[in-house]
Amino acid sequence: MADNPHHEHLVKELTDQLEPVFSRSPQAVYLYLDDEHKICNKKFADLLGYLSPQEWVDNPNPVSDVIAKDRDKVIDAYVKASDQLKASTLVVSMTTKKGQKIAVKVIMTPVTYRGEVFVLHFITKGGDA
């Protein structure tokens, strides 16, 4: 996918507006438009063992953080959020940067901003994944 400066600007604007959510939520949080246009809070980066949110943002294939057997479930929930504007809650297993498997509860909710649909993810460690 070609880099889109407009999308980068939208991610920055929306991140600024959602700053209280990113900084004060007790949950790990990330905002996703596509593989290149995403942002997370420090809690999410820490949960997966990244040194910083930027290190996670630089990952070109973030779905690789989800174990293979759960990827279709995550992608399906993302499509429902982005195409049907439907929120979902699911339990999946993710892999930390060092390869440790962790169960997480994911709440995905659509957020529209300037004609684009982003998906806001709230992540809580635990669950029966």
Report pLDDT digits (tens) over 60-103. 887 889 999 999 999 999 999 999 999 999 999 999 999 999 99
Token pair, residue 38, equals 């995403």
Mind listing the domains of the chain with CATH numbers? 5-125 (3.30.450.20)
Which two structure tokens, joined as six digits, stand for 88? 């979902």
pLDDT at 4 over 90: no
109 pairs with which residues across the strands?
A: 120
- The Cα angle at residue 78 between residues 28 and 109, in degrees rounded to 5: 55
Per-residue pLDDT reduced to its tens digit, 26-70: 999 999 988 888 999 999 999 999 999 999 999 888 788 999 999
Backbone angles phi, psi at 80, to 5 degrees: -60, -40
Task: State the pTM of this model.
Answer: 0.89
